[in-house]
Amino acid sequence: MSSLAIPSADDARWPNQTGLRVVIALATGAMALAPRLASADDPAETIIVVDPLGVRPREDEAASASVITADRSPRSAETMADLLDAVPGVAVSRLGGVAAPALLSLRGSTWEQVSVYLDGVNLNLASGGGVDLSTLPIGDVARVEVYRGVTPIAYGGSAIGGVVAVETRRPEATGATLEAGGGSFGTWFGGATAALVGAGYGLYAGLHALRSAGDFTFVDDKGIAFDPSDDETVARRNNGSRELDSAIRGHVALPGDRELSVLALGFARDQGLPGYPRFATMQSRLTTRRGVATLAYRSHDDAGPTSVLRAQLYGYGLEQRLRDPLGELVSARTDARDRTFALGAVARMRWAPVDWLAPAVVLDVRRESFTPVELTTGEHGGMSTRLTGVTGAEVALRIGALDLAILPSLRLETSRDVAAGRNNFGRFVAPGPPITRALAIARLGITQSPGDGIALRANVGRYARVPTFLELYGNTGFLRGNRDLEPEHGITADLGGALAWAGGRARLLADATGFVVLSDDLIELQQNASGVARPRNIGSARVLGIESSAELRYGCARLHAQATLTDARDESDSAAAHDKQLPSRPRVHVAVRPELRGIAIGSAELGGYVDLDVTSGNYVDPANLVSVPSRTRVGAGASLGLGRGRVHLIVSADNLTGARESDLLAYPLPGRALYFTVALATQPQSKEP
Angle at 388 between CA 384 and CA 392, to 5 degrees: 170
**Amino acid identity, residue 92?**
V
Reported as half-sphere exposure (CB side, CA atoms, 13 A), residue 359 has a value of 8
Which residue in 497, 468, 493 sits closest to 481, CA to CA? 468
pTM (2 d.p.)? 0.87
pLDDT in tens, 498-528: 999 999 899 999 999 999 999 888 887 776 6
Tell me, what's the pLDDT at 115?
93
- Tell me if 688 is assigned to some domain: no
The CATH number linked to 626 is 2.40.170.20
Q: Could you give the C-alpha distances from 561 to 64, 68, 503, in angstroms and in order?
A: 16, 14, 20
Contact status, residue 214 vs residue 98, Cβ threshold 8 Å: yes
CB neighbours (10 Å) of residue 408? 14
**Quick one: how far is CA 207 from the chain centroid?**
22
Q: Distance between CA 308 and CA 608 in Å, rounded?
A: 42
- Tell me if 6 is assigned to some domain: no
Tally DSSP H helices, then E strands, for the chain.
Answer: 3, 36
Which residues touch 604 (CB under 8 Å, ≥6 apart)?
Answer: 640, 641, 642
- Tell me if 5 is assigned to some domain: no
The pLDDT of residue 689 is above 60: no
At residue 165, φ and ψ (nearest 5 deg) are: -110, 115
**Amino acid identity, residue 124?**
N
Tell me, what's the pLDDT at 73?
66
pLDDT in tens, 619-642: 878 888 888 888 889 999 999 999
Between 34 and 348, the higher pLDDT residue = 348
Contact status, residue 241 vs residue 267, Cβ threshold 8 Å: no
Going 221 to 223 to 225 to 226, the CA torsion angle's sign is negative
Confidence class for position 281, pLDDT limits 50, 70, 90: confident
Q: Distance between CA 304 and CA 322 in Å, rounded?
A: 52
Q: Distance between CA 301 and CA 373 in Å, rounded?
A: 49
Going 653 to 659 to 660 to 661, the CA torsion angle's sign is negative
At residue 84, φ and ψ (nearest 5 deg) are: -75, -25
The share of the chain scoring above pLDDT 90, in percent, equals 51
> What residues does 262 pair with on adjacent strands?
250, 295
Q: Distance between CA 186 and CA 638 in Å, rounded?
A: 21
Which residue in 55, 78, 57 sits closest to 689, CA to CA? 78
Lowest-pLDDT choice from 19-28, 278-287, 338-347, 443-452:
19-28
Going 542 to 591 to 12 to 110, the CA torsion angle's sign is positive
* Number of domains observed in the structure of the chain: 1
Tell me, what's the pLDDT at 99?
84
Domain that residue 380 falls in: 18-681
pLDDT in tens, 419-446: 776 665 667 777 778 889 999 999 999 9
Helix H or strand E segment including 570: strand 557-570
For 229-248, what is the mean pLDDT? 89
Which residues touch 36 (CB under 8 Å, ≥6 apart)?
Answer: 452, 453, 501, 502, 503
At residue 225, φ and ψ (nearest 5 deg) are: -70, -25
The pLDDT of residue 51 is above 60: no
Q: Kindly report the average pLDDT of the chain as a whole number.
A: 84
The pLDDT of residue 209 is above 90: yes
- Tell me if 4 is assigned to some domain: no
Q: Distance between CA 106 and CA 109 in Å, rounded?
A: 5
- Tell me if 9 is assigned to some domain: no
- Tell me if 8 is assigned to some domain: no
Q: Distance between CA 10 and CA 613 in Å, rounded?
A: 19
- Tell me if 133 is assigned to some domain: yes
